[in-house]
Amino acid sequence: MPVEIIETNKEPLKPVQVDPVTLDIIENALRNARFEMDAVLFRTAMSPGIREQHDEFPLIANRDGKMVVGQFGSFIHGFSAGHEGTVEEGDIFLTSDPYSCAGAISHANDWLVLMPIFRDGRLLAWTAMFGHMTDIGGKVPGSLPTDARQIYEEGIVIPPVKICKKGEMQDDLLKVIFHNCRLPHWNRSDLNAIVAAIRTAERRVVEIAERFTDDVFHQAMEELLDRNFRAMKQLIANTIPEKRQVFEDYICDDGMGMGPYKIKCAMWREGEKVIFDFEGTDPQSTGSINFYLNEEMFKMFCGVVMIMVFDPQILFNDGFYPLMEVRIPEGSILKPRHPAALSCRTHALGRIFDVISGLLGQGSPDFLCAAGFSDSPHFMYSGYDSKGEWYQLYQIGFGGIPGRPIGDGPDGHSLWPSFTNVPNEFLESYFPLRIEKYETVTDSGGAGLHRGGNAVRMVYRFLEDGEISIHDDRWFTYPWGVNGGDPGERSKKILKREDGTEEILPSKCDRVVVKKDDMLAFETWGGGGWGNPLNRGAEIVAADVDKGLVSIEGARRYGVVINSNGRLDEPATDRLRAEMKAGYDSDEIFNFGGTLEELRSRCLEETGLKPPTPPVFTATRRS
């Protein structure tokens, strides 16, 4: 390991007995500390991305860098592999370079801050947190250029550096970094907030160690990891078949007219170990939709989804990592070679969750969820207002949660933890725009025994001339349904000019010029349906129609007939359902809404946009 940890206290931590109750107490105390980190950050950060939408991820790890509480798995190993130099008491590290931390963060907008926690001269634990910066410079406002070919075009890239050395903040270094960003006061306050959050974690860890001794604290972290290992071992043995399962899904396009890009993964179990193999995934894109997927992070995603699906009582940490092996081909869209562009990785990152759902569910369809709102579509609007002040909005969209074993998918919600929308009154008072509509898209959730959640339609009216950028996906492929459920509706963007002309904007575009009183209808996509819609209670469908979530026409997908005064027509429903059941083919687990060829041939007619052309892959650097 190139990292040299400097400890003034050389006495090793002693293995000790931890009584089971102390273990439980330490687990609770660590969990409280992690939620406190979130609370501190949300309250003090300034960019709406972190403040309102909560685009951030904290953790506390043991001395060896294994995450004991957190969400995304440990970022420490990747950092240790990429950092050369010392780690000392009072140091705080910052990096935004995915290539220097093995993809622990996956684009340069995410600033990762790490801190070793020392007590009495000995390294006791680690804490870390990353947050998405609204702007880090580069060629477009928001720093997510669709057409970038290299990471150098995407803004400032920070290798692992000490922003605090033995307790002393490195202000000159920070000055250089902030100087490269369009909204430096946001970067400064967001970074301040992240540092305040990890200092909170440090205080809590030291308090716990004081209360129980360092040896007990250290041993407890080990045992918490081991406890998770044992639980997951049993869960894997019970739920993952030895038989090889394969699942494929797609990123619709790269914003430059090519697509779709395939993500393919095979899964099987060998003894107690489960293997995920991404052989067959497309090579890296020349554009910026590449997603540098850290193997450990993928393990965490899988582990978390398994836990949520099969047994939400289990608390997750890095303990189970030895039970999984992840193979990602070099030079693929999931492991691109430096200096490939990475900024628009959000689509592939989201899509990974659909792939996991598809893989895990094949073995046990009762636990399978449909395709969800597997993305964080971005909307950006910037320019100089009539007073000459720069405005810059970065906003994340929401959509339909899929139909799930437990029931319908919520409408217009987030698949990402703790994300929230920005209140429209807040937007209107801080940015030159008016939100004319904020509603869900009727019928956009896939029909099913459990209905997929509806997409969101947000209609922006621009009150100043400016430029907009859009990053979305699932306009070409469908959010698939499962176990007989229909796919959800795809996404769509319509720009209505002030003179009444309308144009359909591509799902990914940068720097589209808008004028005052132009309007943009930004429609995300719905969740896939779960189970045969013909088995959904007709009165539930009628209630959905009454609520405006499903239309009278849309109710027919469930075989339900609603008459013109909005009432359920039972005899007609019985007849229609009998008819539809006769023609129903229920063998397929997945409903993708057609083959790629079929989607291509119907594309222009159905979406108003030309189908993407198959990707061409160019030579990349040899590693």
Partner 1 sequence: MAHRLGVDVGGTFTDVLLVDDETGQRVTSKVPSTPADSSVGVLNGITRACEKAGIKPGQISQVMHGTTVATNAMLTSGGARVGLVTTEGYGQVLQIARSFVPGGLGGWVIYVPSAPLAPLELTTEIFERIGADGSVVRPLDEDQAREALLKLKDAGIEALTVSLINSFENPIHEKRVREIAEDVLDGIPVSISFDVIPEMMEYERTVTTVANSYVRPAVESYVKNLEAELTDRLDGVTLRILRSDGGLASAGAAQVLPVNHLMSGPAGGVSGAIWVARQAGFENLLTFDMGGTSTDVALVRDGRAALRRETTVGDVTVRASSVDVRTVGAGGGSIAHVPELTGALRVGPESAGADPGPAAYGRGGESPTVTDANVVLGYFPESQRLGGDMPLDRSKSQEVVQQIADARGLSLERAAAGIVDIVNENMCGALRLVSVEQGYDPRDFALIAFGGAGPLHANALAKLIHAWPVIIPPGPGVLCAYGDATTRLRNEASRSFVRRFSNTSSDELRALLEELAGQARASLEKEGEEVEAVHYEADLRYQGQGLQLSVPVDLKLLSSDGLNHPGEAFDRMHTKLFTFALDSEKEFVNLRAAAESPGSELTAASAPKGKGADSACVGKQVVFVEGESVTAKVFARELLGSGDTIQGPAIVTEMDSTTLILPSHEAEVDDLGNILIRPQEA
Site for partner 1 in 223-262 (CB under 8 A): 227-228, 230-231, 234-235
Asked if residues 428 and 467 have their Cβ atoms less than 8 Å apart, the reply is no
Give the position of tokens 């579509």.
377
Q: Interaction with partner 1 in 127-166: which residues (CB under 8 A)?
A: none
The single residue among 107, 404, 557, 577 that binds partner 1, judged by CB under 8 A, is 404
| 414 binds partner 1 per the rule CB under 8 A | yes
Q: DSSP letters of 161-202?
A: EEEEETTEE-HHHHHHHHHTSSSHHHHHHHHHHHHHHHHHHH
Residues in the chain, overall count = 623
The single residue among 199, 337, 556, 600 that binds partner 1, judged by CB under 8 A, is 199
First and final CA of the chain: distance in angstroms?
A: 20
Peptide bond into 12 cis (omega under 30): no
- Three-class SS state of 517: coil
| 548 binds partner 1 per the rule CB under 8 A | yes
Write the binding mask 309 to 348 for partner 1: x where contact by CB under 8 A, - elsewhere. x-xxxxx---------------------------------
Q: How many chain residues are in contact with partner 1, going by CB under 8 A? A: 89
Peptide bond into 339 cis (omega under 30): yes
Asked if residues 545 and 527 have their Cβ atoms less than 8 Å apart, the reply is no
Give the position of tokens 């903040």.
169
User: CB of residue 113 vs partner 1: minimum separation in angstroms?
Assistant: 14
* Candidate ranges 31-39, 84-92, 166-174, 271-279; the one touching partner 1 (CB under 8 A): 31-39
- C-alpha to C-alpha distance for 223 and 226, rounded to whole angstroms: 5
Strand order of the β-sheet with 56-62 is 67-70, 56-62, 122-132, 110-119, 92-95, 161-165, 168-169
* Candidate ranges 137-145, 167-175, 323-331, 400-408; the one touching partner 1 (CB under 8 A): 400-408
* Candidate ranges 119-127, 279-287, 300-308, 511-519; the one touching partner 1 (CB under 8 A): 300-308
The single residue among 8, 150, 418, 601 that binds partner 1, judged by CB under 8 A, is 418
Q: Interaction with partner 1 in 364-383: which residues (CB under 8 A)?
A: 369, 372
The single residue among 214, 318, 411, 464 that binds partner 1, judged by CB under 8 A, is 411
| 385 binds partner 1 per the rule CB under 8 A | no
Asked if residues 104 and 94 have their Cβ atoms less than 8 Å apart, the reply is no
User: CB of residue 47 vs partner 1: minimum separation in angstroms?
Assistant: 8
Q: Interaction with partner 1 in 43-82: which residues (CB under 8 A)?
A: 43-48, 51-52, 71-72
How many CB atoms lie under 10 A from the CB of residue 564? 7
| 189 binds partner 1 per the rule CB under 8 A | yes
Q: Interaction with partner 1 in 431-450: which residues (CB under 8 A)?
A: 434-440
Asked if residues 109 and 136 have their Cβ atoms less than 8 Å apart, the reply is yes
User: CB of residue 196 vs partner 1: minimum separation in angstroms?
Assistant: 5
Write the binding mask 6 to 25 for partner 1: x where contact by CB under 8 A, - elsewhere. --------------xx-xxx
Residue with smaller CB distance to partner 1, 48 or 155: 48
Residue with smaller CB distance to partner 1, 94 or 415: 415
| 30 binds partner 1 per the rule CB under 8 A | no
Task: Report the run of H or E that residue 324 belongs to, with start and end.
Answer: strand 324-327
- C-alpha to C-alpha distance for 345 and 335, rounded to whole angstroms: 12
Q: Are strands 502-504 and 508-514 parallel, antiparallel or unpaired?
A: unpaired
